[in-house]
Each structure stands twice: as structure tokens, then as C-alpha cells.
Structure 1
């Protein structure tokens, strides 16, 4: 794994769901480029889920997690 993949894996490890915007913000703080980050997400198989079906306020938010 490259450094971005390692960082993303460690950031998500042990967490159920993490708000996508939070992960992106932290990745940016770590100095990763958007292209690196997108590739890392794909390469380690990050699962993406939205709250569209259970959102009470009608706002869709996206969450990431590691595959089980």
C-alpha cells in the first residue's frame, strides 16, 4: 500500500461509518492530492453509503467505511 492508502485505512479502521466530508478534510490536512485520495479509496475497497433512506431532515450525507 502507498502512504495515502495506509493513512486512509488507519483513519477508518475500527470505525463504523465516517462522514465523507470529515475524511476528505483530514486527507487534505495530511497533504494528499484529490487524485491520490480517490485512488486510495478505490484500491482499499472503501464502502460508500448514504443516509438518503433514513434521513429525517431530507439532507443526504455520504459515509465511508472499510469493508467487513
Structure 2
């Protein structure tokens, strides 16, 4: 018995793209805040989490593209 997919390939591409955009904007804002002289350790956590979200989003988008091309 074949399992049902949680997301279609188009939904994976769309959500992955939005996660990647959100993560990259978060990384850029954290870098700007770091160089502006803010001594807040939360900025480093936001930088790390933004990178993780951007990486997961890019991975999800690539998986959606591969599924769309029937490579997986």
C-alpha cells in the first residue's frame, strides 16, 4: 500500500522558496545588527536559525523540483 504525500511538488517548491527567502532575510538582518554594534547574544541565535531555515527551504525547493521532473 502506497502512502499519501503530505505536500505536492508545487507546494514543496513554493513553501521551500518562501522559507529560503525568510531565512536569507533573517541572516542579512542579523549580520547588519551585528556590525552595527549591538551586543545582544540573541542576534547570533537568530543568525544561526535563519541559516537553518534558509537551508531547509532551499532543500525543500530542490526536492520539489526533482519530483516535478520525476527524478525521484
TM-score range relative to shorter protein: under 0.3
TM-score by length of 1: 0.27
Higher relative contact order (CA 8 A, sep 6+): 2
Larger-Rg structure: 2
| Greater percentage in strand | 1
| Greater percentage in helix | 2
